Amino acid sequence: MRELIESLLSPFGARRDVSLAELTTLGIGGIAKWLVDARDADTLVQLVVTLDSFHIPFRVIGAGSNIVAPDEGYEGVLVRNAIRGVTIEAHRAYVGGGHGLHDLIRTVNAAGLGGIERMAGIPGTVAGAIYGNAGAYGQEVKDRMSVAQAWDGEMIRAVTNVETEFGYRTSVYKRRKQWFVLSACFALDETDPAPLEKTSAEIVQKRTRKYPPDLRCPGSFFKNILLEELSRSEAADLRAQVPEEKIIAGKVPAGHLLEQVGALGMQRGGIRIADYHGNLFYNAGGGTCADVRALAAELADRVEDRFGYRLEEEVQYL
């Protein structure tokens, strides 16, 4: 099998035995046997079709900003979406799925196109942001993405905003694992660049205080709780236990619940919770996937015992 995989991947410049810790912002994980960068849509599609036809396990990844990698490594092929580039036409921005979301925001801000400026500083790629319907400070990807070019397991197709089935930190791509975003179009508002750039700069400052550049973390670990997705009785029960001022835009912050059960400063092995935010897991040095799972399970149990709600992880396990 190894010889077959090597022969299939050799035309694509595959790398062997790559550290997963170097591919993820959390900085944990064993060795990935093969890594291939797909720098255009044809290459990505050709790769996934070839691998699938030979029943070779693979995963398509982006910047690794929301991934918890396994300690035992990954025996299949990692295909990294490296399709980059931005084209602006009127009030629309066309962008490759592997382009950094923050870089896209800087580009459209400078062009005087608003609507995603408050998501500045969110790590990861555009494809990853669509996959998880990324959002911050009142803006979400679903609000501005109009259509994506995606591989649906059989063909490249246009997937509209409605067909993407966006939800809170989710989309159709989480449910249909064979679907991959190749590129996307964002419909934006023409406006003055200066206030856009000012807003983004202020938000990046806030995010930098919370997530220092050298902090090995995946961002928020657990999802906040969207009250409208709960039953009426579940929502009422949770509201009765959480101060009203803590509920923001219909969401109960996971960090608040975690802090109430003693999360601040907790540590298992090399994985620690920040002293100032209960939903910020980071690698304090030598952390492992086993440490992450143990700490996450313990805290989810504590929250469920105290509040009657099981937190859902926002991170993705490879």
Active site residues: 169, 220, 314
Copy the structure tokens of residue 22: 């170097």
Cα 122 from Cα 131, distance rounded (Å):
14
Copy the structure tokens of residue 192: 């003055």
Number of Cβ within 10 Å of residue 228's Cβ equals 8
Q: Is the Cβ–Cβ distance between 286 and 245 less than 8 Å?
A: no
Residue 111: closest CA among 103, 121, 119: 103
Q: Is the Cβ–Cβ distance between 193 and 184 less than 8 Å?
A: no
Number of Cβ within 10 Å of residue 286's Cβ equals 11
Paired with 245 in beta bridges are none
What type of residue sits at position 260? Answer: Q
Find the helix or strand (DSSP H, E) in which 259 lies.
helix 254-260
Cα 95 from Cα 55, distance rounded (Å):
31
DSSP 163-231: TTT-BTTB-HHHH-TT-EEEEEEEE-EE--HHHHHHHHHHHHHHHHHHS-TT----SB-BPPEEGGGS-
Number of Cβ within 10 Å of residue 241's Cβ equals 13
Contacts of 203 (CB under 8 A, 6+ apart): 117, 118, 120, 121, 136, 137
Number of Cβ within 10 Å of residue 167's Cβ equals 14
Cα 313 from Cα 296, distance rounded (Å):
8
